[in-house]
Chain A
Amino acid sequence: MKYTILIYETAADFTARTDDHRKDAYWGAYRAYTKALTDAGVMAGGAGLQPPHLATTIRQHDGKQRVQDGPYAEAKEQLGGCYVIDVPDLDQALAWAARCPAASTGTVEVRPNLPT
């Protein structure tokens, strides 16, 4: 069963990616997490995303097209990336989500994927 782990990060998390004092710890933690997923044989995909200020949103409602700078919603925590994992059940998906570095700083959301 595939689950997607959606990673919502705080502004501080996004800053840590390039901060000289914090970037090693930040990337080190994600590298280690990715390695643990891979070594355990549950990794099924994913992507890291650039910060939300680089987002562009599009809406085409009632024949009107609107393009805006910025993410889908202004919120304290923003989507920073996702992992797709293949595990037998939700309990194990949650166990992996709890290990995601963002669980300690932002929020991690787990969703079952639609069957393909």
Chain B
Amino acid sequence: MKSADDDVDTGEAARLAARASYGRLVAYLARRWRDVAAAEDALSDAFVAALDTWPRVGVPEKPEAWLLTVARRRLIDAARHAKVEAGAAPDLDMGLGQAEQETATAAQFPDERLKLLFVCAHPAIDEAIRTPLMLQTVLGLDAATIASAFLVAPATMSQRLVRGKAKIRDARIRFEVPEAHELPVRLGAVLEAIYAAYGSGWETVAGADDRRDGLAEEAIWLGRLVTRLLPEEPEAHGLLALMLHCEARRTARRDARGGYVPLDRQDIALWSRPMIDEAERSLIMASRANNPGRFQLEAAIQSVHAHRAVTGRTDWDAIALLYAGLLRCAPTVGAHVAHAAALAEAKGVDAGLETLAAIARQAVATYQPYWALRAHLLKGLGRVEEANEAYARAIGLSENMAVRDFLVSQSQRACVSE
């Protein structure tokens, strides 16, 4: 099998380089002008100018510096225009002369992406729009792509992004890395937003529907970026480890005909060894701080699952214990359901059902993994009718055909064993 590295051809390399440049340029301009939308517009004008100019005169020696100069001129022109129109001085922190001077050293312009990430996940920004803002400003993803990943109408997503950027500008949210005492909470919001792009998978529950395909590659890219920019933060490494562990199993999650394969039946030979190794290194890095948090615990749970490749068995007691710890710091519905699944394996089906019964009905009315697990456990107890009721609910809530087919086959098997 080819390793992931072999697949990175020159086109891919160019795409990654462009992505890295784009975010750095937007972050740098947005911080100077305190206006994300204006920075993006100016930069996109600069890219258009590059497409027009570079084929004729050749690619400049420092393409980023060239783009920065053009984008800056656009911003200054726009500001002058606004000044004339409004009759007031716009708040610019540099004049044209200074801009020209700075361009000379632009090859070494500072990386402000971390500040931009903190701005996007600022408490004043609506939680639902934090991830889309990051994907657009730092990675340059277009609104339509983001809308598809989040199952939102493209026009709605565009409006929300515009509103989010206006809020950043009008509320004058500061482009800065938070002070030490604020950092854990603020970083938590950044990491949550990155994880939301991954598309959380509660793979511990057989037949759980991944809420959406997610932007896994983009999320891992952002996760790596944060660990590079904040190498001392254990939760950043924890999040990266979590995403890599889940990603390592992507191929194993489907059989040759595209059918769904639950975690405990996955062929360990299909798990990506390099990704698991990197995940384990990240987790070790995180554990040095001796300060466990939500993402480290979730990564540790995935690490226990990955260990099946070595020992041939899954230590469900350890997983149940880790979920209990996770529930203390992040009591989400997903964690509750996954905890119940682990308890059912470790202590018996009754323990699992008891834990499920303790979850508020309201919270799980449309939560597919709950119904998939409930069906699975009831089937184990031979309560066929109730199991099929729950299977029907889980099937009806599934978005994915492979998951739907898997659940149908499970429920048919429940009938046969009656």
Report which A residues bind B (CB closer than 8 A). Answer: 25, 28-29, 31-37, 39-40, 90-91, 94-95, 98-99, 101, 103-105
A40 to B397 CA separation, bound complex (whole angstroms): 10
B400 with A32: CB separation less than 8 A: no
Which of these, A29, A91, A105, contacts B152 with CB under 8 Å?
A91
> Would you call B408 an interface residue if the criterion is a C-beta within 8 Å of the partner chain's C-beta atoms?
yes
Which B residues touch A29, using CB under 8 A? Answer: 395, 404, 408
A33 with B396: CB separation less than 8 A: yes
A94 with B153: CB separation less than 8 A: yes
In the complex, what's the smallest C-beta–C-beta distance from A1 to chain B, in angstroms?
Answer: 14
Which A residues touch B393, using CB under 8 A? Answer: 32, 35-36, 39
With A25-B405, A29-B404, A40-B366 already in contact, the answer to whether A98 and B392 are too (CB < 8 A) is no
Output the nearest chain B residue to A97 by Cβ-Cβ distance: B151
B153 with A90: CB separation less than 8 A: yes
In the complex, what's the smallest C-beta–C-beta distance from B180 to chain A, in angstroms?
Answer: 37
Which A residues touch B156, using CB under 8 A? Answer: 90-91
A103 to B408 CA separation, bound complex (whole angstroms): 17
A91 to B160 CA separation, bound complex (whole angstroms): 12
> Would you call B401 an interface residue if the criterion is a C-beta within 8 Å of the partner chain's C-beta atoms?
yes
> Would you call B399 an interface residue if the criterion is a C-beta within 8 Å of the partner chain's C-beta atoms?
yes
> Would you call B16 an interface residue if the criterion is a C-beta within 8 Å of the partner chain's C-beta atoms?
no
Interface of B is mostly: helix
In the complex, what's the smallest C-beta–C-beta distance from B386 to chain A, in angstroms?
Answer: 14
> Would you call B398 an interface residue if the criterion is a C-beta within 8 Å of the partner chain's C-beta atoms?
yes
Output the nearest chain B residue to A34 by Cβ-Cβ distance: B396
In the complex, besides A25-B405, A90-B153, A103-B399, 13 extra interface pairs with C-beta distance below 8 angstroms are A25-B408, A28-B395, A32-B392, A32-B394, A33-B395, A35-B396, A36-B392, A39-B365, A39-B396, A40-B366, A98-B151, A99-B399, A104-B404
The list of the 5 closest CB pairs from A to B, nearest first, reads: A36-B396, A32-B395, A32-B396, A104-B401, A32-B392
Which of these, A35, A91, A99, A104, contacts B392 with CB under 8 Å?
A35
A101 with B404: CB separation less than 8 A: yes
In the complex, what's the smallest C-beta–C-beta distance from A33 to chain B, in angstroms?
Answer: 4
Which B residues touch A37, using CB under 8 A? Answer: 396
A-B contacts, 8 of them at CB < 8 A, read: A32-B393, A32-B396, A35-B393, A37-B396, A91-B152, A99-B397, A104-B400, A104-B404
Output the nearest chain A residue to B209 by Cβ-Cβ distance: A99
A31 with B392: CB separation less than 8 A: yes
A99 to B408 CA separation, bound complex (whole angstroms): 15
A28 to B396 CA separation, bound complex (whole angstroms): 9
Which B residues touch A31, using CB under 8 A? Answer: 392, 396
B404 with A94: CB separation less than 8 A: no
In the complex, what's the smallest C-beta–C-beta distance from A32 to chain B, in angstroms?
Answer: 4
In the complex, what's the smallest C-beta–C-beta distance from B371 to chain A, in angstroms?
Answer: 9
In the complex, what's the smallest C-beta–C-beta distance from B151 to chain A, in angstroms?
Answer: 5
With A28-B395, A29-B408, A39-B393 already in contact, the answer to whether A94 and B151 are too (CB < 8 A) is yes
A104 to B151 CA separation, bound complex (whole angstroms): 14
A45 to B391 CA separation, bound complex (whole angstroms): 23
Which A residues touch B391, using CB under 8 A? Answer: 32
B405 with A99: CB separation less than 8 A: no
Which A residues touch B395, using CB under 8 A? Answer: 28-29, 32-33, 36
Which of these, B152, B396, B408, contacts A94 with CB under 8 Å?
B152
Which A residues touch B397, using CB under 8 A? Answer: 36, 99
A34 to B396 CA separation, bound complex (whole angstroms): 7
Q: Mark B146-183, 1 if CB is under 8 A from A, else 0.
A: 00000111001000000000000000000000000000
Which B residues touch A94, using CB under 8 A? Answer: 151-153
In the complex, what's the smallest C-beta–C-beta distance from A111 to chain B, in angstroms?
Answer: 11
In the complex, what's the smallest C-beta–C-beta distance from B343 to chain A, in angstroms?
Answer: 26
Output the nearest chain A residue to B391 by Cβ-Cβ distance: A32
A101 to B402 CA separation, bound complex (whole angstroms): 11
Output the nearest chain A residue to B402 by Cβ-Cβ distance: A104
A46 to B365 CA separation, bound complex (whole angstroms): 21
In the complex, what's the smallest C-beta–C-beta distance from B407 to chain A, in angstroms?
Answer: 8
Which B residues touch A34, using CB under 8 A? Answer: 396
Which B residues touch A25, using CB under 8 A? Answer: 405, 408
Which A residues touch B151, using CB under 8 A? Answer: 91, 94-95, 98
Output the nearest chain B residue to A95 by Cβ-Cβ distance: B151
Which B residues touch A105, using CB under 8 A? Answer: 401
In the complex, what's the smallest C-beta–C-beta distance from B126 to chain A, in angstroms?
Answer: 13
